Amino acid sequence: MKTWSCIENCGACCRLDLAERSDLTGVLSNKDIVLINSMRNKDGWCKYFDKSKRNCMIYESRPHFCRVNEFTKTFKDYLKNGDKFLIDCCTQHISSIYGRKSKQMKAFRTAVRKK
């Protein structure tokens, strides 16, 4: 069985367009939406994501919706499908940002298989 795993040097989840994520309706509060929008740069990336180092500059104090393994447990699909839901979400998001043959996607697939 495959198990979801976050990978280093990715940050795909740090680029989020709420308009493209209708599945977040009812999961995020209005306060969360305001905070997400305040964290986004004009290019769509979180202003706390260091693109050169590919890491979060506020990792220890990041908001709850940035804690993927905690936040996604509020989704009905997670409750139904568990790690398959997380794997599918990351696969889609990493592919759309970096490409299906990117080093990030290869690292993610390897990490998921190793668990």
Each residue of 28-74: pLDDT tens digit?
Answer: 888 998 999 999 999 999 999 999 999 999 999 999 889 887 777 77
Strand partners, 50: 55
Question: What's the full length of the chain, in residues?
Answer: 115
Kindly report whether the global pTM for this prediction surpasses the value 0.85.
no
Of 81, 111, 77, 80, nearest to 94 (Cα)? 111
- In angstroms and rounded to an integer, the radius of gyration of the C-alpha atoms of the chain is 14
Structure tokens, 21: 């994520």
What is the distance between the alpha carbons of residues 52 and 9, in angstroms, rounded to a whole number? 10
Residue 109 has pLDDT above 70, yes or no: yes
Mean pLDDT of 73-89: 83
Residue 24 has pLDDT above 70, yes or no: yes
In the prediction, which pLDDT does 95 show? 95
> Which DSSP string do the residues of 34-98 spell out, in sequence order?
HHHHHHB-TTSBBTTEETTTTEETTGGG--GGG-HHHHGGGSHHHHHHTHHHHHHHHHHHHHHHH
In the prediction, which pLDDT does 115 show? 56
Residue spans per domain, the chain? 12-114
Question: Do residues 27 and 37 make contact, with C-beta atoms less than 8 angstroms apart?
Answer: no
In the prediction, which pLDDT does 77 show? 78
